[in-house]
Chain A
Amino acid sequence: MADGAASQEDVLKSIIGQPTGKSKVVVERGPVQHFADAVLSASPIYHDPAAAKGAGFDNIPAPPTWPFAMEFSGKFAEMQPADAPSGNPLATVLGPLMAKGGLILHGEEEFLYHRPVEVGDVLIGDGVISDVYQKESKGRTMTFICSETTWTEESTGEPVVTARMNLIHRS
């Protein structure tokens, strides 16, 4: 099965550098408020524009992990970039792995903030697969897929937040 193993390795490596998508997201007050409640924050800054201004913000800011969830409420179909890549490199790798069973786990998550995300922001996200590799652990094959999404302000092109994650398929 040496040929099979080699071709699987090729499939894994083939998605490194592939885009995972490009999206435009609008940050709205209601969803930010609900998200802050859901992560059990009692801070008035997420609810009250006056409290946000008093803390030095132009608009209500979003909690730290908001970028992971913001496409759900703020990605409107008619606004999406025409040059968004098609296809899903994650599916290229995970599809064949999941066909043989196993579990997908969220291994790590990291955010690098250039400034806080705020209500009213219109952000462009550009994602890429940064690495793919496998490790053997306790008789199982662990496949690590690392991706990075850079969010920039649409009007200025200035970076706002970079999100890095790794997903693990455990055989």
Chain B
Amino acid sequence: MGEKKLSYGDVQVGDEAPVISHTLTRTDLVKYAGASGDFNPMHHDEVAAQQAGQPSVFGHGMFSMGLLGTALTDYVGVGNVTRYQVRFARQTWPDEVLSSKIVVTAKREEDGKKLLDLAVTLSNGEGEDKLVGEATAALP
């Protein structure tokens, strides 16, 4: 079960997924708040965020993980991810350009499953990492 996007035989260690680049907007954060139920005002209320000492509203960590997850499923196919882990390295800010980087680090066959291990990161235009993590996909 899962979308067929990649063929195991065609993938090499070191291959990179197509990059997703997105300029973060306050509308993205409002949409994510409404879809996830995370209404922490730090993510949508500029006045509250500044009163709390932040320069502006900032992104939900789980929005970043969701965006990087979209880059991941666009590459390996929806339904094929078996593990997805990230560390939240830095906050994200409106107008930053967030770009995905997904690299195949290993190919292995286990219990008849064709698995890819991937290093996943999301970073801004200055090359600062926002998310650093790992994923595994089982190709159909």
Contacts from A to B (Cβ < 8 Å):
31, 34-35, 37-41, 43, 45-46, 55-57, 61, 63-65, 68-69, 71-73, 105-113, 115-116
> B73, A43: Cβ atoms under 8 Å?
yes
Task: Give the interface segment out of B10-18, B82-90, B107-115.
Answer: B82-90
Q: In the bound complex, what is the Cα–Cα distance between A138 and B88 (angstroms)?
A: 18
User: Which B residues between 57 and 87 are near A, CB-CB below 8 angstroms?
Assistant: 61-63, 65-67, 69-70, 72-74, 77-79, 81-87
Q: Which of A31, A39, A46 has most chain B Cβ within 10 Å?
A: A39
> B72, A64: Cβ atoms under 8 Å?
yes
> A116, B66: Cβ atoms under 8 Å?
no
Q: In the bound complex, what is the Cα–Cα distance between A109 and B89 (angstroms)?
A: 12
Residues of B contacting A: mostly: mixed
Number of A-B contacts (CB under 8 A): 117
Q: List 13 A-B contacts (CB under 8 A).
A: A37-B31, A38-B32, A39-B32, A55-B77, A56-B79, A65-B69, A69-B35, A69-B37, A105-B88, A106-B61, A109-B88, A113-B84, A116-B79
Q: In the bound complex, what is the Cα–Cα distance between A108 and B88 (angstroms)?
A: 6
- Is B95 on the interface with A (CB-CB < 8 A)? no
Residues of chain B with a CB closer than 8 A to A73's CB: 37
State which of B61, B73, B87 has its C-beta within 8 Å of the C-beta of A63. Answer: B73
Known A64-B69, A106-B61: A116·B86 in contact at CB below 8 Å: no
State which of B2, B34, B77 has its C-beta within 8 Å of the C-beta of A38. Answer: B34
